[in-house]
Amino acid sequence: MRMGSFGRRGGLGGQPRARMSWKVRLIPLVLFALYGMYYYYANQEAVPITGRTHLVDMTREQEMALGYQSYQEILSQSQVISEGQVVDLVRTIGNRLAQAAADVDPGFEWEFNVIESQQANAFALPGGKTAVYTGLLPVAASHSGLAVVMGHEIAHAIARHGAERIAHQKLVQIGTMAASVALGDMDYDTQRMVMGALGVGAQYGVLLPFSRDHESEADYMGLLFVARACFDPTEAPRLWERMGEMSKGNQPAEFMSTHPSHETRIKQFQEWMPEALALREQYCRKASSSS
């Protein structure tokens, strides 16, 4: 009986131990917060054109090596069209856009290929390794429409959005590990519920919003490349009207998506259009419309 009383008064197994246990469990969170602040501020750089500071922790050489490796893997598993009018068109548009982006080009070796696929898509990887899927051509509908998509993808590569996403994912993973240690003595069901809530919060509160910001930033930068290359920037909102028609009823709610809604993109393009048109006039006074 006396031993039981001793335990309730705060000996071994009493309240003081519980309070100390909470302090110990908070240590990983405090260490993560300190490391996160250092990691974030020690790996900042500015995005060309927009000037936005962002988190990137790999060198350009590392990023370009990953891009080249991924590009070779994709091409080896795809039906690449090696010649023809479509290939010539894509390479002509790509080279014009690359020239328009020359003042912010970090030294990429641009390469443009065409892949036979029903996907209405394109991509540009670090290092300038770019491909267009044939399924995009009917939706692009014009040279300027195709330039809008390719300019967007080129902007992703120049802005280093892929490296930024990797850095954000690292922070989320480290934070998740710290939270898991801090919650280690909870019962399994409670721990699973809390970790699940943290995972959902990271996905919808951090990763997806950053991804949508990247898409908007690439839209803006790409639109300026399109204008500098003397394509018609007014084709951008029309392109996304066509994209909206094509995916009608299949687009998730914006907060659940990696991309802004078609309506958001159209509105943003309209807001940016005066700047793009002025830029086109500046760069292309003597050039006729290429659309």
Catalytic positions are: 153
User: Which tokens is 206 given?
Assistant: 């951090």
Strands 80-81, 53-55: pairing is unpaired
Please tell me the number of Cα atoms within 13 Å of 94 on its side-chain side: 23
What gap in Å lies between CA 291 and CA 277, rounded to an integer?
14
> Quick check: 151 and 133 in contact, CB under 8 A?
no
Q: What is the 3-state secondary structure (H, E, C) of 69-81?
A: HHHHHHHHCCCEE
SS3 97: helix
What gap in Å lies between CA 22 and CA 185, rounded to an integer?
10
> Quick check: 77 and 136 in contact, CB under 8 A?
no
Residues 201/202/207/213 CA torsion (nearest 10 deg):
50
Residue in 104, 94, 96, 107 with CA at minimum distance from that of residue 67:
107
